[in-house]
Structure 1
């Protein structure tokens, strides 16, 4: 599995709009055949910090995701909402494998 973890810090007055846009993207992503999981998490101690946990079958599936209308819409919509540029890290899943 190909895992992408994205850390996002959002401007305080944009938290609700960011959450709405991100949930729209997550719902669209979950319909993609290459997507296994998409979790949208918010820090318990700082409501402006979000963490996106995305799992795809392959890196190619993730790259295909980055070309979808829902992702491109999300990327453009949330860019001005971020306090700092988002940080994405890519991982290969070691356990569990294979995912059910």
Structure 2
């Protein structure tokens, strides 16, 4: 399983817009072939900090996600709302098995 944790910090005035755009991306992403999980998490301590937890059955599925129309719309829409470029960290999922 290929897991990516994407760390995002959003400008305070765009938090609600970011959440709405990320909901649309989430809803489409969970329908992708190979998707195992796509969570959007907001920090309990800082409402401007988010983590996207993306789990795909294989690396190819995670790569395919980056070419979907919904991802490209999300990426271009939310980029100006971020305080810095988002950071994605890849992991190999061990348990549960892919």
TM-score (norm 2): 0.97
SS of match in other structure, 2:20: helix
**Could you tell me how far 1:97 is from its partner in structure 2?**
1.2
- The 5 Å alignment of 1:53-92 reads 53-92=53-92
Matched, 1:26 2:26: yes
For structure 2, the 5+ residue unaligned runs are none
1:95 paired residue number: 95
1:51 paired residue number: 51
SS of match in other structure, 1:36: strand
For structure 1, the 5+ residue unaligned runs are none
